[in-house]
């Protein structure tokens, strides 16, 4: 069965850092572009970042550019999101999702990030 | 950035009713429009992509239509498991990929 499982969410102080992970199984991870999407009551669903098959191409939303870094390890079937200089408005549930012929056709259950002092 | 608006905000329906949800884009998104269903505590689930193509396992009572900037998701005969929030997504002009604010379908 195809699945994505996120981890790493936590309560962190403003200005802090956090690394999220997303473990993929049941499909050929290296065959998909991967994305992070976040959801908060204030902003709804918001696309955060994208990475291509081998990690050579990355793209970011303006709201996280320069603060977040997406990466992947195809040998470990794992996607990452390194988040730094966190702000209160980064508080959200973070989902990983995949993209190929159909957009965002598989999602993880999400991991919650709370930025608060 | 393409902005998506959805209407209505809430749609109150009874089981067996036909439900029609709308999504409007601020610019032409061609055929790059998808619909997602989200239930409480769950991630979004892809229902429709390319305006009209149902994702694997999606019942035939869900259908998509539209073109350019105006799109519709229709649930032909609402079942109890269809009460949820529905989002549209445009993936024509990206980054960024943008979602609509959602339509909540609840019990009348």
pLDDT digits (tens, 9 = 90+) for B48-79: 999 999 999 999 999 999 999 999 999 999 99
Nearest residue to B58 via CA among B41, B42, B79: B79
Selecting from A45, A47, A103 the residue whose C-beta is nearest the C-beta of B49 gives A103
Nearest residue to B11 via CA among B2, B3, B20: B20
pLDDT for B94 = 84
CB contact under 8 A, B46 and A110: no
Contact B11, B19 (CB under 8 A): yes
Residue B42 with chain A: CB contacts under 8 Å: 109
Chain B, window 14-43: residues with a beta carbon less than 8 angstroms from a chain A beta carbon = 32, 34, 36, 42-43
- List, for residues B18-33, the tens digit of each pLDDT value: 999 999 999 999 999 9
CB contact under 8 A, B91 and A103: yes
pLDDT for A72 = 98
CA distances to A27, A63, A105 from A1, in Å: 8, 34, 14
**Which 3 state secondary structure label does DSSP give B84?**
strand
> Rounded to 5 degrees, what are φ and ψ at A48?
-110, -50
pLDDT for B84 = 98
pLDDT at residue B80 greater than cutoff 90: yes
pLDDT at residue B93 greater than cutoff 90: no
What is the Cβ-side half-sphere exposure of residue A115, based on CA atoms within 13 angstroms? 18
CA distances to A2, A97, A98, A104 from A25, in Å: 6, 12, 12, 16
User: What distance in Å separates the CA atoms of residue B6 and residue B99, rounded to the nearest whole number?
Assistant: 10
Q: How many residues does chain B have?
A: 108
Which chain A residue has its CA at the smallest distance from B89's CA? A103
Residues of chain A where predicted confidence (pLDDT) is lower than 50: none
Residue A45 with chain B: CB contacts under 8 Å: 44, 87, 89, 99, 102
Own/partner long-range contacts of A22-25 (Cβ < 8 Å, ≥24 apart): A22/A78, A22/A79, A22/A80, A22/A81, A22/A96, A22/A108, A23/A77, A23/A78, A24/A77, A24/A78, A24/A79, A24/A98, A25/A77
CB contact under 8 A, A109 and B42: yes
B95 touches chain A (CB under 8 A): yes
């Amino acid at each position: 069965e195809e699945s994505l499982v996120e981890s790493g969410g936590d309560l962190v102080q403003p200005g802090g850092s956090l690394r999220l992970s997303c473990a993929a199984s049941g499909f050929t991870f290296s065959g998909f572009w991967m994305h992070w999407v976040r959801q908060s009551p204030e902003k709804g669903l918001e696309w955060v970042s994208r990475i291509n098959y081998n990690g050579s191409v990355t793209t970011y939303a303006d709201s996280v550019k320069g603060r977040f870094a997406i990466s992947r390890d195809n040998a470990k079937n794992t996607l990452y999101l390194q988040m730094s200089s966190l702000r209160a408005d980064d508080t959200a549930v973070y989902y990983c999702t995949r993209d190929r012929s159909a957009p965002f056709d598989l999602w993880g259950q999400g991991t919650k990030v709370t930025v608060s002092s | 950035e393409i902005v998506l608006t959805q209407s209505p905000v809430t749609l109150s329906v009874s089981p067996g009713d036909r439900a029609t949800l709308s999504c409007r884009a601020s610019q032409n998104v061609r055929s790059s429009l998808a619909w997602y269903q989200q239930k409480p505590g769950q991630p979004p689930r892809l229902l429709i992509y390319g305006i009209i193509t149902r994702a694997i396992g999606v019942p035939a009572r869900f259908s998509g239509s539209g073109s350019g900037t105006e799109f519709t998701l229709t649930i032909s005969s609402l079942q109890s498991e269809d009460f949820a929030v529905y989002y549209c997504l445009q993936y024509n002009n990206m980054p960024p990929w943008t979602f609509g604010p959602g339509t909540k379908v609840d019990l009348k």
